[in-house]
Amino acid sequence: MALNCGIVGLPNVGKSTIFSALTSAPAEAANYPFCTIDPNIGMVAVPEPRLDRITSLIPTKKVIPAVIEFVDIAGLVKGASKGEGLGNKFLANIREVGIIAHVVRCFEDPDVTHVSGALDPVSDIETINTELALADLDTVDKRLERNQKLLRSPDKDTKKQAESMQSLLETLSEVLGEGRPARSIDLGDEQQKLVRDLHLITMKKVLYVCNVDEAAVNTDNGYVSKVREIAAAEDSEVVVISGKLEADISALDTKEEREEFLAEAGIEESGLSRLIRAAYKLLGMRTFFTAGADENRAWTFHEGARAPQAAGVIHTDFEKGFIKADVYHCDDLFAYGSEQKVKEAGKLRIEGKEYVVRDGDIMFFRFNV
């Protein structure tokens, strides 16, 4: 799975405004459909309070956060699966991302045209989901047609594999034809492997992003609750954000100014921070740290990775020549106040190749190449 998040939605829902605030890089934004034709790509630092606390206890010359890639994909419209609104190009961009952040317009503004003429988050979500399902249906039906020929193959192995695929493809075709996503089917590990090369869009996990006006950041304006109902039925997460407010915050020069702005607005944490962390987690990404006089750094690893794999994130030589890792958890550092006291408390461990890395581990790798 690609380690990035694609931002999708109907035109004029605020995708590019949110992307610009995320990356602090001005993506083109305008009040008309298809303003964004080629996807904008930005690397975004993952907000990590633990890294700040580590640095307060282990002073260093340089601090480097983990990052996540966001892709701003042009607005989809009804008929995109049939090529409407340059739909084929946009759908191809969505296939290349790891997860989807579906921005839903939950604000009223007569100065910003709604592509359907009326604000209706439920209808907007259905439009996007239907187009993505129809695009996947086309992919599955083409594979079904090809699979029918393979069922008649004289080669036993080819025929056996085609037989395994047939019922699965038929189930996918039925579900997608009803406008439901492929992820709504409970597939086992082997079945997921069989359909992986189809690159189905609706197999991707979705994070719903409710774009509200400034007044609705801390309250439910009625539209958000409707999105939450849909997300709950899909077992998806919802993040509420004001794209306009976040754009104002990102335009401020210093961290202190941004914190003061949030305090005055009565907001504990930026919506962008919550969005970034939610996307990071949904991708199955977790963080371990390295700390020392020269550099404190957050590193990204896949949940479930063992120590040599985590070492390989830093450098392939670390994985090839892995010997062992000195490990303690950042919570222990916060509790005891220094690395020396962590050692004295017996919380620093020596772990080998089978150690499953925990989110928040602070690690020092020993290797030989």
Task: Supply the CATH number for residue 337's domain.
Answer: 3.10.20.30
In a domain, 335, yes or no: yes
- Examine the fold and report which residue of 247, 282, 317 is the final residue of a domain before the chain moves on: 282
332 pLDDT exceeds 90?
A: yes
- Residue partners of 123: CB distance under 8 A and separation at least 6: 116
265 pLDDT exceeds 80?
A: no
- Residue with more model confidence, 186 or 219: 186
My answer on whether 276 and 355 are in the same domain is no
My answer on whether 35 and 148 are in the same domain is yes
- Residue with more model confidence, 366 or 190: 366
| Spatial separation of the C-alpha atoms in residues 102 and 98, rounded to whole Å | 13
Which tokens in the block code for residue 321? Answer: 């020549």
* Residue-level pLDDT at 39: 58
Residue-range definition of the domain harbouring residue 354? 304-367
My answer on whether 33 and 123 are in the same domain is yes
Sheet bearing 40-45, strands edge to edge: 40-45, 67-72, 4-8, 99-105, 206-211, 237-241
**Quick one: average pLDDT of 65-84?**
72
| DSSP for residue 46 | P
- List beta partners, residue 266: none
My answer on whether 313 and 272 are in the same domain is no
268 pLDDT exceeds 60?
A: yes
* Residue-level pLDDT at 85: 46
**Quick one: average pLDDT of 231-242?**
91
Longest alpha-carbon distance in the chain: 73
In a domain, 288, yes or no: no
In a domain, 79, yes or no: yes
My answer on whether 37 and 126 are in the same domain is yes
In a domain, 291, yes or no: no
pTM: 0.83
My answer on whether 216 and 264 are in the same domain is yes
Which tokens in the block code for residue 235? Answer: 């077992």
| Spatial separation of the C-alpha atoms in residues 123 and 171, rounded to whole Å | 26
* Residue-level pLDDT at 79: 60
56 pLDDT exceeds 90?
A: yes
In a domain, 134, yes or no: yes
* Residue-level pLDDT at 2: 62
In a domain, 287, yes or no: no
In a domain, 289, yes or no: no
My answer on whether 240 and 344 are in the same domain is no
My answer on whether 243 and 172 are in the same domain is yes
- Examine the fold and report which residue of 249, 282, 315 is the final residue of a domain before the chain moves on: 282
My answer on whether 325 and 277 are in the same domain is no
In a domain, 166, yes or no: yes
Please report which confidence band the pLDDT of residue 249 belongs to, taking 50, 70 and 90 as the band edges.
confident
**Quick one: average pLDDT of 75-96?**
64
Helix, strand, coil % in the chain, rounded to nearest 5: 45, 20, 35
Query: Percent of the chain beyond pLDDT 90?
Result: 46
Which tokens in the block code for residue 19? Answer: 């992307």
My answer on whether 244 and 343 are in the same domain is no
86 pLDDT exceeds 70?
A: no
Given CA atoms 19, 24, 28, 30 in this order, what sign does their dihedral have? positive
My answer on whether 197 and 340 are in the same domain is no
| Spatial separation of the C-alpha atoms in residues 222 and 260, rounded to whole Å | 29
CATH number for the domain that contains residue 266: 3.40.50.300
Count: domains in the chain: 2
**What tens digit of pLDDT does each residue of 277-323 get?**
999 999 999 999 999 999 999 999 999 999 999 999 999 999 999 99
My answer on whether 196 and 331 are in the same domain is no
Do residues 111 and 151 touch, judged by C-beta distance below 8 A?
no
